């Protein structure tokens, strides 16, 4: 049986230097017979010019729209113009490993019943600052310790059979910014009886530079709250990835810890309770702290603890907000892909 053909789809909006590095890895590691489709989703920088320059030397197809409509629509546009058996989606701020595409083709060849697969960030994030290292390493740990029977899709490094993608109408284009459009697609795949696999050896490097405000904005408003609404819509409370029982328990304990710390202003005896709760949190999450220790040393691992507990706090807060929104507004709607907005084909040979 021959290897399935792959169409690599890269949406980009103001990609900057990360986009250049992404294309450099594509040029270096993607087989010559792979179809490459870049979708420039509006923007104010030179991403379109960078994509067109890359196309001159690679034969890539470049699509672009004058206004930004979000990565969901951009990926759909790329998918509709693709010819490959497999659609391989990556973000414009990741770089490929030498064997990424080869692994994907081989996995789909050997598993004809597999509808989609997702990969993982590697353990060497591109941005050196502490917050970026912590966040991207934590993402790597989450995927590497998750079940290989996946329940969601992932747009940063995810592949799906093109016929199945088109059959279920692709990504929900009502998400006008990078959000949970990939998770939502995964839920529809599972509801349709399709199989998704987490392939832990299929990895990409994440280059994103995280800062506190950008992290909290993305984590709370673009991911956690809309994800909560999806959870209530589809009742997908699965013990995996960010929804593990240990995570849910830690969220509750973090809230109790905060209450105990506040109460200690009135009675110092509560400090003992806070200490016990903190110790339980450390024990429950010891495996992730051991991972950080092994990866970056003891001091790095110690510095991750308050950030990890902050993650539990705002995750619980976002779940409460998302639940309230769901009860007041109702189910998130699914918007089928459309082709009404103007696009331009800038393929350069």
58 and 168 fall within a common domain: yes
Beta strands in the chain (DSSP E): 6-12, 35-41, 61-65, 86-90, 94-96, 114-121, 149-150, 157-161, 195-206, 344-345
Alpha-carbon Rg for the chain, nearest whole angstrom, is 21
301 and 162 fall within a common domain: no
Q: Work out whether strand 344-345 and strand 61-65 pair parallel, antiparallel, or are unpaired.
A: antiparallel
> How many domains are contained in the chain?
2
Other C-beta atoms closer than 10 Å to the C-beta of 260 total: 18
Sign (positive or negative) of CA dihedral 40, 46, 51, 56:
positive
Does 1 fall in a domain? no
pLDDT at 177: 87
d(CA 89, CA 37) in angstroms, rounded, equals 10
pLDDT at 25: 98
pLDDT at 80: 96
Other C-beta atoms closer than 10 Å to the C-beta of 217 total: 12
205 and 314 fall within a common domain: no
Q: Which two tokens stand for residue 103?
A: 């692994």
Sign (positive or negative) of CA dihedral 83, 73, 44, 122:
negative
b/e code 36-54 from CB counts within 10 Å (16+ = b): bbbbbbbbeeebbebbbeb
211 and 249 fall within a common domain: no
Nearest to 349 by CA among 93, 55, 41: 55
Torsion of CA 69, 349, 206, 116, to 10 degrees: 70
Does 224 fall in a domain? no
Tens digit of each residue's pLDDT (9 = 90 or more) over 188-216? 999 999 999 999 999 999 999 999 999 99
Does 270 fall in a domain? yes
pLDDT(344) > 60: no
Residue-averaged pLDDT of the chain? 91
134 and 213 fall within a common domain: yes
Q: Which two tokens stand for residue 102?
A: 């080869």
315 and 338 fall within a common domain: no
Question: pTM (2 decimals)?
Answer: 0.91
d(CA 230, CA 344) in angstroms, rounded, equals 33
3-class SS at 341?
A: coil
Other C-beta atoms closer than 10 Å to the C-beta of 170 total: 23
Does 193 fall in a domain? yes
3-class SS at 93?
A: coil
Does 227 fall in a domain? no
195 and 288 fall within a common domain: no
171 and 290 fall within a common domain: no
Q: 1-5, 50-54, 71-75: lowest mean pLDDT where?
A: 1-5
pLDDT(339) > 80: no
Sign (positive or negative) of CA dihedral 323, 324, 330, 333:
negative
pLDDT at 237: 66
DSSP 61-78: EEEEESS---HHHHHHHH
Q: Which two tokens stand for residue 132?
A: 């970026």
131 and 245 fall within a common domain: no
Which position has the token pair 């013990």? 239
pLDDT at 348: 37
pLDDT at 198: 97
123 and 213 fall within a common domain: yes
Q: 226-235, 255-264, 330-339: lowest mean pLDDT where?
A: 330-339
pLDDT at 331: 57
57 and 192 fall within a common domain: yes
CATH code, 46: 3.90.550.10
Tens digit of each residue's pLDDT (9 = 90 or more) over 120-170? 999 999 999 999 999 999 999 999 999 999 989 999 999 999 999 999 999
pLDDT(230) > 90: no
pLDDT at 240: 52
Which residues are 95's β-sheet partners? 205
Does 230 fall in a domain? no
251 and 145 fall within a common domain: no
Q: Tell me how far the alpha carbon of residue 341 is from its chain's centroid.
A: 26
**What percent of the chain clears pLDDT 90, i.e. is strictly above it?**
77
Residue 328 vs residue 340, higher pLDDT: 328
Look up the domain containing 312 and give its range: 241-329
Sign (positive or negative) of CA dihedral 305, 308, 312, 318:
positive
Does 234 fall in a domain? no
Q: Which two tokens stand for residue 12?
A: 């980009």
Does 308 fall in a domain? yes
Tens digit of each residue's pLDDT (9 = 90 or more) over 289-324? 999 999 999 999 999 999 999 999 999 999 899 889
Nearest to 67 by CA among 346, 341, 345, 338: 341
pLDDT(66) > 90: no
Q: 44-53, 162-171, 339-348: lowest mean pLDDT where?
A: 339-348
């Amino acid at each position: 049986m021959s290897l399935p053909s792959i169409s690599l789809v890269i949406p980009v909006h103001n990609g900057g230097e990360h986009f250049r590095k992404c294309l450099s890895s594509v040029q270096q590691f993607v087989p010559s017979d792979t179809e490459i489709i870049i979708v420039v989703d509006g923007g104010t920088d030179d991403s379109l010019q960078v994509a067109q320059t890359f196309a001159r030397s690679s034969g890539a197809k470049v699509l672009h729209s004058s206004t930004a409509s979000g990565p969901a629509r951009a990926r759909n546009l790329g998918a509709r113009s693709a010819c490959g058996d497999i659609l391989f989606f990556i973000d414009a701020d990741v770089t490929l490993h030498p064997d990424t595409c080869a692994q994907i083709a081989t996995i789909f060849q050997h598993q004809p019943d597999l509808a989609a697969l997702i990969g993982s960030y590697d353990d060497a994030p591109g941005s050196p600052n502490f917050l970026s290292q912590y966040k991207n390493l934590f993402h790597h740990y989450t995927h590497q310790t998750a079940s290989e029977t996946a329940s969601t899709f992932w747009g940063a490094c995810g592949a799906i059979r093109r016929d199945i993608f088109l059959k279920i109408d692709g990504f929900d284009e009502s998400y006008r910014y990078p959000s949970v459009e990939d998770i939502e697609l995964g839920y529809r795949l599972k509801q349709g009886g399709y199989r998704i696999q987490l392939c832990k050896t299929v990895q990409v490097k994440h280059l994103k530079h995280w800062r506190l405000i950008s992290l909290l904005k993305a984590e709370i408003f673009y991911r956690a709250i809309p994800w909560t609404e999806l959870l209530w819509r589809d009742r997908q409370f699965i013990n995996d990835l960010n929804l593990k029982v240990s995570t849910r328990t830690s969220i509750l304990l973090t809230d109790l810890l905060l209450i105990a710390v506040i109460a200690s202003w009135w009675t110092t005896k509560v400090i003992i309770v806070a200490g016990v709760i903190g110790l339980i949190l450390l024990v429950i999450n010891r495996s992730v702290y051991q991972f950080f220790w092994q990866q970056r040393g003891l001091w790095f691992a110690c510095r991750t603890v308050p950030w990890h507990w902050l993650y539990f706090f705002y995750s619980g807060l976002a779940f409460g907000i998302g639940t309230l929104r769901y009860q007041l507004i109702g189910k998130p709607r699914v918007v089928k892909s459309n082709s009404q907005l103007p696009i331009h084909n800038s393929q350069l040979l």
